[in-house]
Amino acid sequence: MKFPILLILFFISAFSATAAKPVKIYNELYRPQFHFSPEINWQNDPNGLVFYKGEYHLFYQYNPFGNEWGYMHWGHAISTDLVHWEQLPIALFPDNDSKDKEVCTEFSGSGLVDENNVTGLQKGDEKTILLFYTSQKCGQRLAYSNDKGRTWTKYEKNPIIAFNETDDARDPKVIWHEANKQFVMVLYRKPDNDEKQKGISFYTSKNLIDWEYKSHLPGFFECPDLVELPVNRRADDKKWVLFNGDGSYLIGTFNGEKFVTESPKLPGDLGLNYYATQTWSNIPEADGRTIQIAWMKGGEYPKMPFNGQMTFPCVLSLKKFTDGIRLIRKPVKEIELLHGKGEVWENKNLIPGINKNLTHKVDNDCMHIIGSFKIKTVDTFGFVVRLDKKNNGTEIMYNVKSKTLTCLGNSVIVEPIDGTLKLEILLDRSSIEIFANDGSAVMSSCFIPNENANGIYLFNTGGELLVEKLEIYPMKSIWQIEK
């Protein structure tokens, strides 16, 4: 009788060990399958975006203790292709051993590679990666790594810009200004606690440690970014773009110390959930892209172990239109790495009440939709995505008369080009990103679809619509599924 008893005890022990081990599947009902999200707990702003030796580093505001904002640390992930992400240990912990929900916790900031060791912090053969961040109510601070970002050390003479209780300084973004051969920091501030002065201050430095104030531009709030972009891809015609926390932007000139505006403040995104944009530093010249990502602020993920996701990485450019220069945003080409076997339709003329749903065979909860539509006599057209068997779903609709593209209650005016409207849609389990006319208008929104609602319906009302070309690809998961 001893053998069966021992066998039973063995199985109980084995089952207990297996049950105690956490299962990481990244396959929950509302888990984004090709947008970044943390394994568990709260995530907000992207921080410290930097490229070094084939790796894109993504840091982010992170609460390791729960699904609510507070107790900010810097989470950390890396990617070699901008789509597949490997979670690394927490990079930055609160300063002064703070246990407070806010004081001395790690607010937002940026990253940069110290290519020429101007800080003198390099030890060994690897270039030093620097992280500039706000230690809330404890000043602007610096951390660095000499091992490709695997471990981090706080600069011993922190803060590099002291805390001022009459100010609300935070979210430093540091760039190299080639023309002046110096570094520039753009920092959100509220001088003298004056609401009217809330805006962006500009600082300069030769060594990335000692910073000198130069100028201030009111009218901004949080998470600034500053990039130089060619207009219409012309290397001899460049403009500077200054970003606000909500993704809105100004176009102008920048001499290394002062920004001069040449445009009104323009919206960067017309969706429901888009905030805290930031671009990657140190992208190689051979690549040449300016790559941006943002937090999908306000998204909801009922009963999920995580709270937060990023937008899909996008390439920025400037294009001249009849009403001025505007920002263009398009998904990075690496998105094609996630394509499954898709469906393609060309030159399909749709007549209301006659044609069946062109896309009736498509059945997936994650899709990349690319379409070019010739507007003939149609009044409205669009898609109903995440369609269930009762014909409930989320509508993406273009109204020809008002020239408005609408989704989830938000609208943006989009002018057809030569009678054609182009749409590119990234549909994930809890988000929809719509890029109209090659990224000239963008809407990024979170949503909560019905369970087991994986259909899609292409509709048109009032007249004919020519589908010049429509591609729909099911999207592979970026996560390694563990069962």
- Asked whether the beta carbons of 140 and 161 are under 8 A apart, the reply is yes
* Three-state secondary structure call for residue 338: helix
* Three-state secondary structure call for residue 247: coil
Active site residue 45: yes
Whole-angstrom Cα distance, residue 59 to residue 47? 5
Whole-angstrom Cα distance, residue 94 to residue 84? 28
Residue ranges of alpha helices (H) inside 287-347 are none
* Residue 148 φ/ψ, nearest 5 degrees: 60, 30
* Three-state secondary structure call for residue 197: helix
* Residue 2 φ/ψ, nearest 5 degrees: -70, -35
Residue ranges of alpha helices (H) inside 294-453 are none
Residue 174 neighbours by CB under 8 Å, 6+ apart: 110, 112, 130, 132, 183, 184, 185, 208, 281
Whole-angstrom Cα distance, residue 144 to residue 445? 35
Q: Rg for the chain (alpha carbons), in Å?
A: 24
- Asked whether the beta carbons of 17 and 9 are under 8 A apart, the reply is no
Q: DSSP secondary structure string, 151-186?
A: S-EE-TT--SB---TT---EEEEEEEETTTTEEEEE
Nearest to 338 by CA among 367, 296, 371, 309: 367
User: Strands 182-189, 170-177: parallel, antiparallel or unpaired by DSSP?
Assistant: antiparallel
* Three-state secondary structure call for residue 141: strand
Q: Which among 45, 95, 246, 365 is annotated as catalytic?
A: 45
Nearest to 277 by CA among 257, 291, 263, 298: 291
Nearest to 428 by CA among 312, 292, 334: 312
* Three-state secondary structure call for residue 97: helix
In order of 119, 149, 245, the CA distances from 126 in angstroms are 14, 10, 33
Q: DSSP secondary structure string, 2-59?
A: HHHHHHHHHHHHHHHHHHHSPP-----TT--SSS---SSEEEEEEEEEEEETTEEEEE
Q: Any idea which residues carry the catalytic annotation?
A: 45
